[in-house]
Structure 1
Amino acid sequence: MSLFGHTRSGQEPRAARSPLLWITLIASIAGLLVLAFAWLAGWIGRDRATAQTFTDSIEATGAAHPGFRRAHSKGVCVSGSFQGTPEGAALSSARVFQQPQVPVMGRLSIGGGDPHGADANARVRSMALQLISDDGQEWRTAMNSFPFFAVPTTEAFLEQTRAGIPDPATGKPDPAKMAAVQAKYPSARAFGQWAKTAPWSNSWANTDYNGINSFRFIAADGSERFVRWSMRPQAPFVEMTPEQRAQAGLDYLADEFQQRLAQGPVRWDMWVTLAEAGDPVDDPSQVWPEQRRQIKVGTLSLTSMQAQADGACRDVNYDPLILPRGIKGSNDPILAARSAVYSQSFNRREREIASGKAADATGKEGAR
């Protein structure tokens, strides 16, 4: 056959004699691409754990608050700096561990989807950070006060989220559905026990924040280690009693943190735990053994706070997979799900802002 589609005998090849075959083939390929796109976007297979179904389920667990984050909706913007240690620089070639001081822009928040909820009643507290080093590399991380994730897979995560959707007949989640999730997943039972028994800190400033997921630190020589990181406060832990929580003001954590900042920087030390062979690096519901080696890789200093409605953190998506050279993600499916859902939530609230649908409790548009 020549390059122009003719045989030496002068006869046309079979495909050339059947243009309908080419049309059918092209149409089939196009159809498969459309189906694949729809599947990934969540337009079909609605029970799949896609970013769209996740976000839809999160939204269904409570009242709508257009323009706000779908989870951890209430928070404040913070800023400061990060100073790496030589030990951190030895583990990872990321510039953030070598630069004398890296600017930080972040967010402190509480769990839940109500941007007007009472600070002191939120069981989960969170810290999100954006670090941009002088070589233009960016690192974003989102950490929580719980020590491990409640479930091991994206399917289980979606199942747990849906169990929290209120029953239309009662206006509250069906206890039987949540009980079924806890019966199915031992880590969910353990998480429930942590939520019931772990002491409450009385400040954002003396709370531990855990990365939960595993990441890879890549050294200058190319060697890699799986790690999990945590921010450990320099401020001493003080427990908050149920009576104190009941009497605290609506914005207790923000008010208390502002008072601390007036006295000087609030600091946390960043520690990484190194995995060893056999540790479950792709399952955030499993805690690594306590005897694993831990290394201090830096210190975070926060020096200022702004309201999130007009603060610098307002329009930042703290996607945990935005990482600098020297740090890579693991194959943890929850990590990938977080990244996808954060993006979906961010896009939805930005559209709500752009269309003028977002408002705070007073009706002010654009508040987040």
Structure 2
Amino acid sequence: MTKSPVPHSTPVCVPCRLAAIGAVVLALAGGFAYTAGWLTSARLTAPRLIDTFEKVAGKPHPGFRRNHAKGLCVSGYFDSNGDGAVLSHAAVFTVGRTPVTGRFAVPGGNPSAPDTSVPVRSMALLFQLNNGEQWRTGMNSTPVFAVHTPEQFYRQLLASQPDPATGKPDPAKIKAFYAANPETQPFRAWVQAHPPSSSLANAAYYGINAFRFTDATGTTRAVRWAMVPETPYAPITDAQKSAKNFLQADLDQRLQNGPLRWHLILTVAQPGDPTDDATLQWPDNRQHIDAGTLVLEQTSSQEDGACRDVNFDPTVLPAGISPSDDPLLAARSAAYALSYKRRTREEALHPELHRTQTSGDRS
């Protein structure tokens, strides 16, 4: 078993305006029964959430994901060292390589947004296990999320809708939301204290939600994970701050010199650590296990890359990993499914979307 430095010690985020922080929370959605619409019509539903995502985007972007619309595909493999098997009997933690299809993206529904429009980036991965199972995960470059409950998330979306007069979110509404929801403070404090990285390659990416890992003896523990880069962190440069599309170009250039690597760090909860609240970090002194290395070898356009048709539903899990009691998890699943249904239907009805969207902007 190998221990690793605490993953969130690597700086990966940035001070930002209230409007920019508001846009970050578009990376997730909240509450299974709520989003599925199985309780009452007054509850949140997946259509209600996705409709609001579309309003926040400002105008229709047919054929694109309703969030993380701008991104690029990546591919490579996960090289397990076997140490993760002490926590989970999932086949992905057996010593050896697992093929990976992935996607880097910028939060938000606008596929043409500048890379600096929000201070957070995302990494989504699909591990194709040799026993036919899959592990899908969507991670952000912050270790905590802005809100705790589905209701908070929906109110955050409403506060982030653009003002018709300016076409941008109203900072006063976002400020009022934060004032009414002190649970957002850990996220805001972390964002303000961590400048964004200069590259997708030197950022850490966090699973944020807790999951349950079950080992070969049937013992179950709560776990969070992060992908921690081998590439040394460097802050965004002044030139990059004024560039619109530097992230993909930078990644392509780095890959010309060889594969890029991240270590999968599993953090194990202790009794009393919250598993149902993504706004709270666990203490730094928790056990950390380096379970292996993610190796990314090449990029491809979202227009025709392997990630284009993947729904990175974080509840698609192999045996040995299961969702926790975090109410955001199943909501993400329901919202992602509806987003996938809408965009693929649009593509089927309008094949020209495949030809007219620019490389790097397709979803």
TM over 0.5: yes
CA distance in 2 between partners of 1:138 and 1:204 (Å): 24
How has the CA–CA distance of structure 1 residues 347 and 214 changed in structure 2, closer, same or farther, with 3 Å as cutoff?
same
Give the drift of 1:367: 4.5
Residue aligning to 1:123:
119
How has the CA–CA distance of structure 1 residues 205 and 44 changed in structure 2, closer, same or farther, with 3 Å as cutoff?
same
Aligned partner letter, 1:264: G
Aligned partner letter, 2:113: G
Q: How many pairs are equivalent?
A: 329
Residue aligning to 2:286:
292
Give the drift of 1:191: 2.2
Give the drift of 1:42: 8.3
Report if the CA contact (8 A) 2:80-2:92 is conserved: yes
Cα deviation, 1:40-63, whole Å, max 9, x if unaligned, reads: 548973x52221111111111022
Residue aligning to 2:47:
52
Aligned partner letter, 2:48: T
CA distance in 1 between partners of 2:146 and 2:169 (Å): 18
Alignment of 1:92 with 2:88, yes or no, is yes
Report if the CA contact (8 A) 2:67-2:108 is conserved: yes
Report if the CA contact (8 A) 1:167-1:174 is conserved: yes
Give the drift of 1:183: 1.2
Taking only aligned residues, the RMSD between alpha carbons, in angstroms, comes to: 2.4
Cα deviation, 1:129-148, whole Å, max 9, x if unaligned, reads: 00111111110000000120
Identity %: 46
Alignment of 1:150 with 2:153, yes or no, is no
Report if the CA contact (8 A) 1:74-1:109 is conserved: yes
Q: Secondary structure at the match of 2:187?
A: helix
Q: Secondary structure at the match of 1:61?
A: helix
CA distance in 2 between partners of 1:38 and 1:188 (Å): 21
Which residue, out of 324, 334, 337, partners 1:330? 324
Alignment of 1:178 with 2:186, yes or no, is no
Report if the CA contact (8 A) 1:111-1:126 is conserved: yes
Alignment of 1:168 with 2:152, yes or no, is no
Q: Aligned runs of 1:14-93 on 2, under 5 Å?
A: 40-41=36-37, 45=41, 48-62=43-57, 63-93=59-89
Structure 2, unmatched stretches of 5+, are: 1-32
Aligned partner letter, 2:55: A
CA distance in 1 between partners of 2:181 and 2:55 (Å): 23
The TM-score normalised by the length of structure 2 is 0.85
Aligned partner letter, 1:180: A
CA distance in 1 between partners of 2:351 and 2:191 (Å): 35
Residue aligning to 2:344:
350
Residue aligning to 1:228:
224
Q: Secondary structure at the match of 2:191?
A: helix
Residue aligning to 1:107:
103
CA distance in 2 between partners of 1:152 and 1:363 (Å): 35
Residue aligning to 1:17:
none
Q: Secondary structure at the match of 1:101?
A: strand
Report if the CA contact (8 A) 1:144-1:209 is conserved: yes
The TM-score normalised by the length of structure 1 is 0.84
CA distance in 2 between partners of 1:192 and 1:214 (Å): 20
CA distance in 1 between partners of 2:34 and 2:323 (Å): 26
Which residue, out of 207, 211, 221, partners 1:211? 207
How has the CA–CA distance of structure 1 residues 363 and 288 changed in structure 2, closer, same or farther, with 3 Å as cutoff?
closer
